[in-house]
Amino acid sequence: MGTRQRFVADTMMGEVARWLRLLGYDVVYSRHFTDDEILRLASSTGRIIITRDKRLHRKAVKMGLRSVYVEAVESAAHRLAEISVKSGIEIAADPSKSRCPECNGELFKSDKERVLNKIPPGARNAYDTFYVCSRCGKVYWEGSHWKNIRRIVREARTIRDKMLARSKRRQTPQDS
Ligand SMILES: [Zn+2]
């Protein structure tokens, strides 16, 4: 597996940042970032900017930085599909690859005994695989909400495939 794309998300992209982290992508995000901070971060770390701000996007492109301008407003699935098309990332749900949606920390598999005091009794009995965030210590498991995550990921892939098919049809020999 090659190195995965890394991102910096603008202040309006909190939900997208959480989704990309769930899908395993390293996404730096803060509600307090200024445009200059985002541009500096992108240029010093090679992160791809994700933004809904056209001005910031244009500025980034002018500076030679990679930037994804997100237009989709319909749903998280639409936004993920658009980001996948524009940045080339794969969208797949695999809890063992997830990063912490809260803080972007890496997750490590943990023995049940070690996290017993941090999980509700229901999860204690129903699950065997647990992950702990290396940064904030939050504990995760593949609970019932993953059914919903997988559904939205499937939806995003379907939308993406349609978008790709449409752009292929639009291409004419003169384009290349
Ligand atoms: Zn965390």
Strand blocks (E) in the chain:
7-9, 27-29, 48-51, 67-69, 107-110, 130-133, 139-141
Residue 1 pLDDT exceeds 50: no
Rounded mean pLDDT, 59-73? 97
- Which phi and psi angles does 77 have, rounded to 5°? -60, -40
Q: How far is the CA of 110 from the centre of ligand 1 (A)?
A: 14
Q: What's the rounded Cα separation, in Å, for the pair 101 and 143?
A: 15
Q: Label residue 176 by pLDDT band (50, 70, 90).
A: very low
Rounded mean pLDDT, 2-26? 92
Predicted pLDDT of residue 33: 95
> Which residues line ion ligand 1, judged by CB < 5 Å?
100, 102-103, 105, 133, 135-136, 138
Q: What percent of the chain has pLDDT over 70?
A: 95
| Predicted confidence (pLDDT) per residue in 126-163, tens digit | 998 899 999 999 999 988 888 999 999 999 999 999 99
Q: How far is the CA of 100 from the centre of ligand 1 (A)?
A: 5
Q: Label residue 72 by pLDDT band (50, 70, 90).
A: very high
Predicted pLDDT of residue 172: 62
Q: How far is the CA of 133 from the centre of ligand 1 (A)?
A: 5
Rounded mean pLDDT, 3-16? 92
Q: Label residue 62 by pLDDT band (50, 70, 90).
A: very high
Q: How far is the CA of 102 from the centre of ligand 1 (A)?
A: 5
Predicted pLDDT of residue 50: 98
Rounded to two decimals, the pTM is 0.91
Q: How far is the CA of 107 from the centre of ligand 1 (A)?
A: 8
Predicted pLDDT of residue 104: 98
Q: How far is the CA of 28 from the centre of ligand 1 (A)?
A: 12
Residue 54 pLDDT exceeds 50: yes
Q: What's the rounded Cα separation, in Å, for the pair 91 and 89?
A: 6
Mean pLDDT of the chain, nearest integer: 92
Length of the chain as a residue count: 176
**Nearest one of 37, 17, 39 to 26, comparing CA atoms:** 17
Q: How far is the CA of 130 from the centre of ligand 1 (A)?
A: 14
The domain spans of the chain are 7-93, 107-141
Q: How far is the CA of 53 from the centre of ligand 1 (A)?
A: 27
Q: How far is the CA of 86 from the centre of ligand 1 (A)?
A: 27
Predicted pLDDT of residue 137: 95
Predicted pLDDT of residue 2: 47
Q: How far is the CA of 99 from the centre of ligand 1 (A)?
A: 8
Q: How far is the CA of 22 from the centre of ligand 1 (A)?
A: 11
